[in-house]
Amino acid sequence: MRHYFHGGIHPADGTDKLLSNQKPIRIYTPTIVEISMKQSLGSICEAVVKVGDKVSRGDLIGKPIKFGGANIHASISGTIIEIRKDSDLSDIDVEIIVIESDNNNTEAKYPIGDYEKKLIDLSEYTKEMIITKMSYGGLTGLGGAGFPTHIKYETKERIKCILINAAECEPYLTCDHMLMIEHRYAIINGVLLFVKVSGAEKAIICFEDNKQDVAKDLERIVSDKGLPIEIKILPTRYPQGGERQLVEAVLGMEVPAGNLPASIGVIINNVGTAKALADIVLGDEPLITRVVTVTGKVKDPCNYLVPIGTRYNELIGLSGGYTTDKSRVISGGPMTGTCLQLAGSYDELTGSISKITSGLLVLEDAPKDESPCIRCGECERVCPAGLAPFKIDFAAIEGDIKLCDMLYATECISCGSCSYVCPAKRELAYRVTKAKTEIFRRRWESED
Ligand code: SF4
Ligand code: SF4
């Protein structure tokens, strides 16, 4: 097998990851959390609590207003002190539930159970039981856009293989790597739950070759016990962890345009999602914490385990604040992340950790002056979706959304590879992604 996917780049030399993958995960428990009622793709949630209510860690506080969302739970015990409306990163108005800790059972900790230390006998867990817990526990993908996981597993397609994305191909981010070092049994138990619930023959955990330490560790466990799990080590190449890229590189198959991987019998989950599934099913704790990498231009880069809703500025403060005056703060990694703040102090940074926040990255802001396209074709060469980004860019600038659609802008995975290589510094990924969003918006409107 060639372990190769179309396009892609080598965006960094790997030293960026060394900033934060050399220290154990730190646990942090804030006294206030601000939990957005939009934590995943699909429907936003509405509060099912009111100001003044007392909640315990794990209580349901938000339910999707229509099909396609995921439940949201209190991540600390305390009192609801405020419910306000705010705009999220995509400018959608959502409710934010603010909980003040009662200092009772609020510690952000992993549920400690046998499943953290050994393989669990899953024979008593039925598919229905696992899906019900997955759905109630508000499980979403922890590595990407946050697709509600139970919806993936309610497919009618026959699933043959589960791919577990342990590539963590985005530069700077190390939260998955550290999770795998510290929680290998919980992850394997979670992967076995995915195999069980899907009826798949096997799962393949896919690493990049910059994580051989943990890959070998997991391989030892799965081969000793004869588990239906394979370990695959892939070349370090961005965006190796993209769903379609992983399918192409590992299985040598292509997901047809406009279809989900389930259409060819494959489901892909992030390694952090496997750990969260084990917490939900075997640890009886909904998805209320996650590991976040805080890195880049901060004094003390690190990975933190925090309750969902922990405020960004507290985490930057814990990491010693910015080490540059020209800070650009990004939620996620440098390739696919969203800019949260340009310049300013970290005290002024607003917003909080959601289920899909893999990192807070501080970079030195360097102004990008776009110049005209020189038709070098580099963006087309690296696009893993096989698109011609410069053509879509022209169409998007002209406002010709129909042409963007004809050029398959909807297949863009927003990986940022095109912008990264463009010598004219054109904001290709931004405009292609915007065009994609507009196409989908128009399609949904016409369906309503
Ligand atoms: S057009 Fe989309 S998929 Fe292609 S390189 Fe650019 S961001 Fe990635
Ligand atoms: S990489 Fe930039 S300059 Fe080259 S073809 Fe694409 S848009 Fe034009």
Q: For 193-210, what is each residue's pLDDT tens digit? A: 999 999 999 999 999 988
- List the single range of 7-11, 132-136, 173-177 with lowest mean pLDDT: 7-11
- CA distance linking residue 374 with residue 392, whole number of Å: 15
Percent of the chain with pLDDT over 90: 77
389 lines ligand 1 (CB under 6 A): yes
DSSP category for residue 104 = S
Residue 372 CA, chain-centre distance (Å), reads 34
- Considering only CA atoms, which residue is closest to atom 8 of ligand 2? 373
- List the single range of 103-107, 289-293, 410-414 with lowest mean pLDDT: 103-107
- CA distance linking residue 409 with residue 388, whole number of Å: 9
What stretches of 137-253 show up as alpha helix (H) in DSSP?
Answer: 149-153, 175-182, 184-198, 212-225, 243-246
DSSP category for residue 338 = E
> How far does residue 218's CA lie from ligand 1's centre (Å)?
32
In this predicted structure, the answer to whether residue 315 has a pLDDT above a threshold of 90 is yes
User: Which residue, among 371, 411, 374, 367, has the nearest Cα to 392 in the 3D structure?
Assistant: 411
Are residues 383 and 417 in contact, defined by beta-carbon separation less than 8 angstroms? yes
> How far does residue 365's CA lie from ligand 2's centre (Å)?
22
Angle, in degrees to the nearest 10, between helices 271-281 and 184-198: 80
pLDDT at 371: 95
Atom of ligand 1 nearest to the CA of 428: 6
Q: Give residue 107's pLDDT band: very low, low, confident or very high (50, 70, 90).
A: low
- In the chain, CATH 2.40.50 covers 30-106
- In the chain, CATH 3.40.50.11540 covers 15-20+110-281
Q: Give residue 111's pLDDT band: very low, low, confident or very high (50, 70, 90).
A: low
How many residues does the structure list for the chain?
Answer: 448
In this predicted structure, the answer to whether residue 268 has a pLDDT above a threshold of 70 is yes
SS3 231: strand
> How far does residue 116's CA lie from ligand 2's centre (Å)?
49
Q: Indicate the top mutation candidate among 244, 383, 407, 426 to test ligand 1's pocket, ranked by most ligand atoms within 8 A of CB.
A: 383
DSSP category for residue 322 = B
Instruction: Please give the single-letter amino acid code of residue 127.
Output: K
CATH class of the structural domain 30-106: mainly beta
> How far does residue 388's CA lie from ligand 2's centre (Å)?
9
What are the pocket residues of ligand 2 if the criterion is a CB atom closer than 6 Å to any ligand atom?
Answer: 373-379, 390, 421-424, 426, 428
Are residues 57 and 105 in contact, defined by beta-carbon separation less than 8 angstroms? yes
Percent of the chain with pLDDT over 70: 96
Tell me whether the omega of the peptide bond preceding residue 239 falls within 30 degrees of 0, making it cis: yes
Q: Indicate the top mutation candidate among 9, 387, 411, 434 to test ligand 1's pocket, ranked by most ligand atoms within 8 A of CB.
A: 387
pLDDT at 3: 61
Are residues 219 and 204 in contact, defined by beta-carbon separation less than 8 angstroms? no
Tell me the whole-structure pTM to 2 decimals.
0.92
- List the single range of 75-84, 87-96, 387-396 with lowest mean pLDDT: 87-96
Q: Give residue 396's pLDDT band: very low, low, confident or very high (50, 70, 90).
A: very high
pLDDT at 109: 57
15-20+110-281 maps to which CATH number? 3.40.50.11540
